[in-house]
Amino acid sequence: MPSLKDLKNRIESVKSTRKITKAMQMVAAAKLRRAQESAEQARPYTERFNAVMGQLAASAGGSDSAPRLLSGTGSDQVHLLVVMTAERGLCGGFNGNIAKRARAKAQELLQAGKTVKILTVGKKGRDQLKRDLADKFVGHVDLSDVKRVAYSDAQGIAKDILSRFDAGDFDVATIFYSQFVNVVSQIPTAQQIIPADFDAPEGDSGGTLYDYEPDEEAILADLLPRGVATQIFAALLENGAGEQGARMSAMDNATRNAGEMIDKLTIQFNRSRQAVITNELIEIISGAEAL
């Protein structure tokens, strides 16, 4: 049974931990507001951009002169998985869920006889995947020094992916990230970016017709690389909001658990102290009676 000194030291240790988790919760809450606003403000542009690109793709998709980013290489043998996670931990299952989704996809492709290559963005995803898939890694993007994700960061990642595609390193590219819903809900998502996969716009079906100048193929050739960067940037923003939301929730749970542990240890400490006092009284009374 632990001594009174051990119990007291442990209570003080848990109190110090609770202060840290509470401070981290408050910092995450402050960062969450900015990250959530950035993610929500980017969604209308991304959705509208994808709608326009979907209409262009529907018009030019069957053309022989369609860009390779839209039509693909004609094969799906080599897959590039871009796994986007956080640079830091202490955010519950946020990073683990993304890595789990990517690992399942990689195993599915390998079982189908495909070649898998992995590009990691964020060291937590790299750490979780290197145990099983370290031989599939082809690159890593470190954003640990970035205080706030900017479009230039997404452009750098997109440029790396596009250069690999132009060099014939892969046929299909898919990004993995977590879509932010709310503080307690982030959905691991897989999105194919090469060849570009746009949903056909629903509102314009059978309605307005557009004439493009120059033609659709020329516009797509210019916009498709930007589309890759736009989708990556949107995924980074969603990840940023999801990370802070998951960290806020995890630190809140940790703070509550620390409080419960302090209460239990305090009860145990009081009982042990009461037992010590009782034993001392018994010894004093027994000694007095012996005299």
Domain co-membership, 215 together with 74:
yes
Domain co-membership, 135 together with 92:
yes
Q: Does a structural domain hold residue 156?
A: yes
Domain co-membership, 12 together with 103:
no
Sorting pLDDT into bands at 50, 70 and 90, what band is 104? very high
Q: Which of 28-37, 117-126, 192-201 has the lowest mean pLDDT?
A: 192-201
Question: pLDDT at position 63, please?
Answer: 58
**80 DSSP β-pair partners:** 117, 173
Per-residue pLDDT for 152 more than 50? yes
Whole-number Å distance between alpha carbons of 77 and 205: 34
The enclosing domain of 69 has a CATH number of 3.40.1380.10
87-120 CB burial, b ≥16 within 10 A, e <16: bebebbebbbbbbebbbebbeebeeeeeebbbbb
Give which of 123, 127, 165 is closest to 144, Cα–Cα: 123
Residues annotated as catalytic (active site), given as ranges:
91
Domain co-membership, 153 together with 227:
yes
Q: Does a structural domain hold residue 25?
A: no
Whole-number Å distance between alpha carbons of 262 and 268: 10
As to burial, measured by CB atoms within 10 angstroms (0-12 exposed, 13-18 middle, 19+ buried), residue 27 is middle
What is the residue range of 286's domain? 4-20+253-290
> Residue 214: is the preceding peptide bond cis (ω within 30°)?
yes
Q: Does a structural domain hold residue 40?
A: yes
Q: What CA–CA distances, in Å, run from 94 to 51, 144, 252?
A: 29, 17, 15
Total count of residues recorded for the chain: 291
Question: pLDDT at position 62, please?
Answer: 57
Mind listing the pLDDT tens digit for each residue in 180-222? Answer: 988 888 999 999 998 887 765 555 544 455 666 666 677 777 8
Mean pLDDT value across residues 62-78 = 78
Question: pLDDT at position 52, please?
Answer: 80
Q: Does a structural domain hold residue 146?
A: yes
